[in-house]
Amino acid sequence: MGTLGSGDFAHIGKSVRIKGDVSGSEDIYVDGQVEGSIQLNGNSLTIGPNGNVRANISARNVIVGGTLDGNIQAGERTELRKSAVVNGDVQTQRIAIEEGAYFKGKLEIQKPQAESTTMAASAFSGTAEQRK
């Protein structure tokens, strides 16, 4: 669990079943079953090797070590470990897929919006000044 940023996280054990919408402002480690949706904007979700999730996920970082049936929308990074089984679409800025992971779906790697906007604005102002 060293991949989690801070010590503050919620652990959903392998005997726990949740049906419904999960949201929060801390990192979550799922080793049980979740069915519904998971919204952790600005935080990380880790699905452990025993985790079985049937949900659409929206989080900053998503690490999958178990089974996921649903889409991932990660603001920064997605990691599929070798034990991962993922059926769903992934939107992320960065992705790591270990050899042995199963993935079926569409992958869309997005560019960071803040950097591209700033670079375009500075390039535009630079060319305007050169013309003077």
Instruction: Say what percent of the chain tops pLDDT 70.
Output: 80
Whether 22 is in a domain gets the answer: yes
Return the pLDDT at 2: 40
How far is Cα 74 from Cα 42, in angstroms, rounded to an integer? 9
Tell me how far the alpha carbon of residue 81 is from its chain's centroid. 13
| H or E segment to which residue 22 belongs | strand 17-23
Range of the domain at 67: 9-131
Count of structural domains, the chain: 1
Whether 70 is in a domain gets the answer: yes
Return the pLDDT at 115: 53
Whether 41 is in a domain gets the answer: yes
Whether 125 is in a domain gets the answer: yes
- Of 35-44, 100-109, 112-121, the least confident: 112-121
Q: Which residue has the higher pLDDT, 128 or 88?
A: 88
- Give the global pTM: 0.80
Model confidence at 8: pLDDT above 80: no
Whether 50 is in a domain gets the answer: yes
Residue identified by tokens 């929308």 is 73
Specify the amino acid at residue 126: G
